[in-house]
Structure 1
């Protein structure tokens, strides 16, 4: 029970850290976009130097990563990773990932303060539908957590990591305005792979560094962490922060939860399988709604008209009579 409590606290810490990190990195992307536009507008500058949200480049991404706000956000990623790793070791992936998914709310709240994002009724309903649905997933999961699987599973995890990384890196630089969708979803899958790899990692108890480094699951953690961080950065350059985060949250939660049920003996509490099913459907529907209402281009330059309230998508104009 003590380890269970530690896992819950660690997951909550990860949720806060990840939420703060996402907003700080989005702020870094905005500042770099503004700086690049100002540079392009100077005498002798080239308009092509300005960040084009529909066509992110490696140079613009590297500039974003070097921004001070982004660096601070990166430090928060490390804190979040530590909390998420503890939660993945001590809790069923059902529960660990559900708690971590609450970073969607942290992101939304901080986004209103630091990024001037306006949230309307539709946004709050969709966000809370995601969180409450994921909470149902957590409540319905049993406290049993198995962390021992055969070595082929470890190699399969590494293979899946490489495949997702390849698709993600190609997608974010070739799909234009859809790069945010690919980047957010791929980052979620890769962060979910990290949770699975941490759960099954050999050499943790008792601690053996050689065993850890020789485990393909450890390689999966390194590769998935680096590429997931990178493609999420590109997604934050070209897409709205809430939409990117919603896609990330669902992929990061649903993937590990499914793997946990199929391969790691994670299960719903007796008689609560129906609640787990309701939670999963609600999480997917809610995140799709958040993404649908928030997948417009990021307003890096503060030029978009004020977003209308109600239930219309994005920044559609509403007539005075509506």
Structure 2
């Protein structure tokens, strides 16, 4: 249990640092596009195009952030095999704290008291979850579960990308949530992936869960990049937290046998609900901050 918590915490640190670096690169690319007055960088709804997202992905900050995400992915996958999903995904989601602290230094964002309070509550909820978590369930799921995971992940990423494109500059929180659902599907897929324990490559390549992992990871990273281009980094990351904790946590309990310690089910439920509520609060306050500061001349333009 302790080793799993350390691995999940390390994944959280990588993801949080990577998000801020990606935001720095995305915003620098957006400023350069604005200076060039390049109309190809915006959709008709005010959101970033594939061209502008590709431009952001070529900055050194974004590349370094992506490298950290890859490391975080590996550590997160390991944590998903070592801990109950409701615990591993929630600990990983604490990258919100890392993101918030680093965004002060690297993005010049000022957090207000409600945001600090929400982050503190999230940390307290993680402690409750760690105390209440019991043994992990199994790694096996019915074949139909693997197929439904692939179908749902594809619908969320493809349909969500189209939706965010239509919403344009108003879609940051939705994009963050969709990316979280993609990363959540990644966690579930890694947990049930066939052939991992025995290193059977043939079973892995024929398992739909593997392709759910790839679509959820790559698609989630793309949609998260869009979210960082068009809105508050803290708000988008908090929305991501909701997506990557609620669905995997529920799937682990309902279908994979994850349980809490005997007599501490109420504490696990309470910690989980509080953690999600705190993340919602950070997303809400981050969105307010983004709207309030948008007219400011010295605010870095995002996605424009």
TM-score (norm 2): 0.92
Shift of 1:137: 2.5
Cα deviation, residue 185, structure 1:
0.3
- 2:4 maps to what in 1? 7
Residues of 2 paired with 1:232 and 1:267: CA distance?
A: 31
Q: Is the 8 A contact 2:183 2:217 kept in 1?
A: yes
Residue deviations 1:188-209 (CA, integer Å, cap 9, x gap): 0110111111011100111111
1:141–1:276 Cα contact (<8 Å) kept: yes
Whole-Å Cα distance in 1 between the matches of residues 169 and 127 of structure 2? 32
Whether the aligned pair in 1 keeps the contact of 2:41 and 2:52 (CA below 8 Å) is no
| One of 20, 23, 26 as aligned partner of 2:20 | 23
Equivalent pair of 1:34/1:301 in contact (CA under 8 Å): no
1:243 lines up with 2:243 in the alignment? no
Q: Provide, for residues 38-74 of structure 1, a one-character-per-residue CA deviation record: whole Å limited to 9, x for no partner.
A: 222xxxxx6x467689422111111111111101100
Question: What do residues 253-280 of structure 1 show as CA deviations (whole Å, max 9, x unaligned)?
Answer: 1111100000011012111121122222
> Please, what TM-score do these two structures have when normalized by structure 1?
0.87
Question: Is residue 12–residue 94 contact of structure 2 (8 Å, CA) maintained in 1?
Answer: yes
Mapping of residues 1-322 of structure 1, within 5 Å: 4-40=1-37, 48=39, 54-295=46-287, 296=290, 303=297
Which of the two has higher C-alpha Rg? 1
Unpaired segments of 5 or more residues in structure 2?
300-304
SS in structure 2 opposite 1:175?
Answer: helix
Q: 1:304 to 1:130 in 2, by over 3 A?
A: farther
Question: What is the aligned length?
Answer: 296
Q: Would the alpha carbon gap of residues 51 and 65 (structure 1) be closer, same or farther in structure 2, given more than 3 Å must change? A: same
- Secondary structure (helix, strand or coil) at the match of 2:280 reads helix
Q: In structure 1, how many angstroms separate the alpha carbons of the residues matched to 2:163 and 2:24? A: 23
Q: Which has the higher helix share?
A: 2
Runs of 4+ in 1 over 6 A off after TM superposition: 298-302
Q: Deviations over 1:61-94 (max 9, x none)?
A: 1111111110110000011001101100111112
Deviation at 1:284, TM superposition (A): 2.5
Contact 2:41 2:51 in 1 (8 A): no
Residue ranges of structure 1 left out of the alignment (5+ in a row) = 41-45, 306-322
1:132 deviation in Å?
2.1
Whether contact under 8 Å (2:121, 2:278) holds in the other structure is yes
Matched residue SS, 1:267:
coil
1:251 CA displacement: 1.4
Residues 125 and 272, structure 2, Cα contact 8 Å, conserved in 1: yes
Q: Aligned-pair distance for 1:179?
A: 1.3
